[in-house]
Amino acid sequence: MALSGQERREQIRNILNESTTPVAGTDLAKKFEVSRQVVVQDIALLRANGFDIIATNRGYVMQEASKASRVFKVIHTNEQVEEELNLYVDYGAKVEDVFVYHKVYGVIKAEMNIKSRRDVRKYMEDISTGKSTNLMNLTSNYHYHTIVAEDEQVLDMIQKELEEKGFLAKLQDYEPVDFWS
């Protein structure tokens, strides 16, 4: 017996809530034996009902309710990327994105959604294939991350550790304070 639309959306919501990685729409379509378009419509209905679901290049992710976020400007070598990313997730924080401020092109941003050491390992494996390179390489290793944590105190501890490790970088006069305007 096929599920009703409401039951299917409830199961999709549960799958997204429990998943630690993005869930591909094609995988959901196969699981529920519906078309990809039906999944897109289900996601739209879930969003309309107040669920914060984002689409990434690897699939759908349920945005968890967060209490605090902060953008950190950092600088380090390619060899220190794993150490930096592990620093965030070891505090229970999530690395939402990475972006650079290029003097010619402006802001160039990529979603990351890194929440665990497993995610960090996967990212490092993907980068190590040589198919692509870290975005920071465009701007002499300077880059930014939007970090989401349980509260401001966790962000303060992260900031302190970034500073101690020499990863924290100072904003320059030419950099906009509001990167998204």
Do 137 and 78 share a structural domain? yes
CB atoms within 10 A of CB 19: 13
Q: What's the pLDDT tens digit per position in 10-57?
A: 999 999 988 888 999 999 999 999 999 999 999 999 988 888 899 988
Contacts of 55 (CB under 8 A, 6+ apart): 43, 61
Residue 181 has pLDDT above 50, yes or no: no
| Total structural domains within the chain | 2
What 3-state class would DSSP assign to 173? coil
For the entire predicted model, the pTM comes to 0.63
Domain range spanning residue 16? 5-62
Do 93 and 26 share a structural domain? no
Q: Is residue 179 part of a domain?
A: no
Q: What's the pLDDT tens digit per position in 155-170?
A: 999 999 999 999 999 8
Q: Is residue 27 part of a domain?
A: yes
Residue 36, domain CATH: 1.10.10.10
Spell out where the chain has E strands: 53-56, 59-62, 68-75, 94-102, 106-114, 142-149
Last residue of one domain, picked from the residues 27, 43, 62: 62
Mean pLDDT over the full length of the chain: 89
Do 80 and 22 share a structural domain? no
Cα–Cα distance between 103 and 105 in angstroms, integer? 6
Query: What value does the mean pLDDT take over residues 115-142?
Result: 91
